[in-house]
Amino acid sequence: MNPVDPVYPYGPASVSGVIKASPVDFVVTEELGFEPSGEGEHLLLQVEKTGLTTADLIRRIAADYSIQPRNIGYSGLKDRNAVTTQWLSLHLPGRAAEVSDPSGDAYRVLRAARHRAKLRRGTHKANSFRLRIREVDDCNETCLRQLDAIRGQGMANYFGRQRFGRGQDNVEQALAQLSAARMKPMRKSMLISSLRSHLFNCVLARRISQGSWRQPLDGDVFMLRGSRSIFSEPLDAALQRRYAELDISSTASLYGSGRSRLSGEALQIEQQVFSENTAITACLDRHDARLQMRPLRVAVDDLDYEFDKAHRLLELRLRLPAGSYATVLLEHFMHAVEG
């Protein structure tokens, strides 16, 4: 079962380019959204890395600080082939908050501060990006129109292809392997996430195909921009205005146990997708996944771009909420391949 082919709201891409030709072409900075408390059993590290996955980084720092990887928390996963800055928490009760000298040059500690709690997945607020796309022949009128539409109307909040593994086969692997008696927690979590992501992407693609993405539906549950707060209210002129201004966006379920707050047409679309994927829903039911909500679109903050025609270079700067993908944004207007 391959990942769903995304349907994008502003028409097909009309340009192509190369991303990640060098790690410095893909720069990501994680924004916590809060300040460390300054005291507590955990040491928060702001770390810049190159050429490492987040799992690689955790193993390296665990060795350098002489602790177990399980005692290191993180908020988001970051790319290997990029220059990324992210936060980690190290459980160091009773130990001085010294900053280790790394055993190589693949990472460096930018900041260290004590904190009361371990970092959990998804606790950061946003990621800022500086992207350089090479071998771009031209930013034609269609491309410029699509970029302006993204700036004004937001982007479809698909899970990126990286969620489904190098071979794009995580869904098949999940259905085959999640019945195993023993599995590393990180591996199990990744496979369950792949199943939920697949279902969400199916719902999102269907809503765009049916023309029900740019406006809310009766029965929608809304998420407030800049937060994870959700609410449901009957549609009226005020809600329609807030939707048009990107203050709120419709959500869809990350499948799991719990009562959905969706109703009406919004619920019918989801139930149809779930009924077409009973092997996935049954697997998730067996593993007690808990229902969550994810916005179907997100605002792209601080989007700016510059095209250097002589060097065929398109540079973008932007900011996305945690859990959204810059590579998905690129797919709204570009056929991008990795260098």
Q: How far apart are CA 330 and CA 161, in angstroms?
A: 12
Q: How far apart are CA 295 and CA 266, in angstroms?
A: 13
Q: What angle do CA 100, 104, 108 make, to 5 degrees?
A: 55
Query: Read out DSSP for 30-57?
Result: EE-SS---S-SSEEEEEEEEES--HHHH
Partner residues linked to 29 by β-bridges = 85, 128
Which 3 state secondary structure label does DSSP give 317? Answer: strand
Distance (Å) of CA 322 to CA 226, 255, 300, 337: 10, 19, 12, 23
**Two tokens, residue 318:** 């932007």
Q: What spatial distance separates the first Cα and last Cα of the chain, rounded to whole Å?
A: 27
Which of 79, 138, 169, 288 is an active site residue?
Answer: 79
Distance (Å) of CA 110 to CA 75, 116, 127, 195: 17, 20, 17, 36
Which region holds residue 68: left if phi is over 0, alpha if psi is between -120 and 50, else beta? beta
Q: Is there a catalytic annotation at residue 247?
A: no
**Two tokens, residue 275:** 């009924």
The position carrying tokens 């924004």 is: 31
The H-assigned helical ranges of the chain are: 54-65, 141-153, 170-177, 185-209, 237-244, 264-275, 278-286, 326-331
Query: Read out DSSP for 45-106?
Result: EEEEEES--HHHHHHHHHHHHT--GGGEEES----SSSEEEEEEEEE-TTS--PPPPPSSSS
Answer for the pair 74, 119: CB distance below 8 angstroms, yes or no.
yes
| Catalytic residue numbers, as ranges | 79
